[in-house]
């Protein structure tokens, strides 16, 4: 190697060392943390196929659309989607401890119960599972948003009314936020659903995101 090359390497090494020391001293003085080192706060979504983007591309689902909005409007937050198609409240109650430990969220969104209703599971059982999930999230220090669901009238008045009341009862008892009916913006629009008349199409997902957003945004402050 020639002398000029060695001199350049030595000079560059000294400059990098000087910059590193200067940065370290500066951060120590102002007590700052570089943006790339700041830990993200987490929103954990525990849902069923309605939140798992069933029948559409994952990036088209309301959770992914919400994550994109969070990135723009609530810097420092991230969204983790732990939703599973076919999930019941029993499945969510069984999984939530592991998800809380793994993700350490500050906000938990619970969108579960629809499959309980479609299967006609006992209302008391659904309510107990919702209570277990909310209690676990609160014990982990997270704020909670319950996203409720409603059942079609063919299941009978007593069941459908009791089903809808479960979400309100748990939210009031646990003092957590509630969005009473997730599908409210599109419920009467047949074109908003896939052929199964259960799962929303991609074009309807922004409406669901916008419906959930005010309740969620309040918990990110």
Known catalytic residue at 211: no
Catalytic residue among 48, 116, 199, 211: 199
- Overall residue count recorded for the chain in this entry: 221
DSSP 74: S
Q: Name, in order, each residue with C-beta under 8 angstroms of 100's C-beta and a sequence gap of 6 or more.
A: 44, 108, 136, 137, 140, 142
> How far is it, in rounded angstroms, from Cα 4 to Cα 7?
5
Q: H or E element: which one contains 91? A: helix 89-103
Output the six-digit token pair for 47: 């849902």
Catalytic residue among 49, 51, 116, 211: 49
**Residue showing tokens 């748990």:** 170
Known catalytic residue at 49: yes
CA 121 centroid distance within chain = 25
Helix, strand, coil tally for the chain in percent (to 5)? 55, 10, 30
Known catalytic residue at 51: no
Q: Name, in order, each residue with C-beta under 8 angstroms of 174's C-beta and a sequence gap of 6 or more.
A: 131, 134, 135, 138, 144
> How far is it, in rounded angstroms, from Cα 3 to Cα 8?
9
The C-alpha angle with vertex 41 and arms to 50 and 219, in degrees rounded to 5, equals 65
**Residue showing tokens 């994952």:** 58
Show which residues are catalytic: 49, 196, 199
């Amino acid at each position: 190697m020639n002398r000029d090359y060695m001199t350049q390497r030595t000079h560059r090494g000294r400059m990098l060392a000087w910059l590193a020391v200067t940065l370290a001293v500066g951060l120590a003085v102002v007590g700052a943390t570089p943006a790339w080192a700041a830990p993200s706060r987490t929103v954990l979504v525990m849902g069923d196929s309605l939140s798992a983007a069933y029948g559409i591309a994952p990036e088209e689902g309301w959770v992914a659309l919400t994550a994109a909005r969070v990135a723009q409007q609530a810097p420092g937050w991230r969204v983790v989607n732990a939703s599973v198609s076919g999930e019941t409240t029993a499945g969510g109650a069984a999984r939530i401890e592991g998800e809380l430990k793994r993700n350490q969220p500050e906000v938990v969104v619970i969108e579960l119960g629809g499959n309980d209703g479609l299967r006609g599971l006992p209302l008391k059982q659904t309510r107990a599972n919702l209570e277990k999930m909310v209690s676990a999230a609160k014990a982990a220090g997270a704020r909670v948003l319950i996203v409720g669901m409603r059942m079609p009238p063919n299941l009978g008045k007593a069941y459908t009314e009791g089903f809808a009341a479960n979400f309100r009862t748990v939210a009031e008892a646990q003092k957590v936020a509630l969005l009473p009916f997730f599908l409210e913006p599109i419920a009467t629009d047949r074109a908003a659903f896939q052929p199964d008349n259960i799962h929303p199409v991609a074009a309807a997902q922004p409406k669901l995101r916008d419906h959930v957003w005010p309740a969620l945004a309040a918990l990110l402050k």
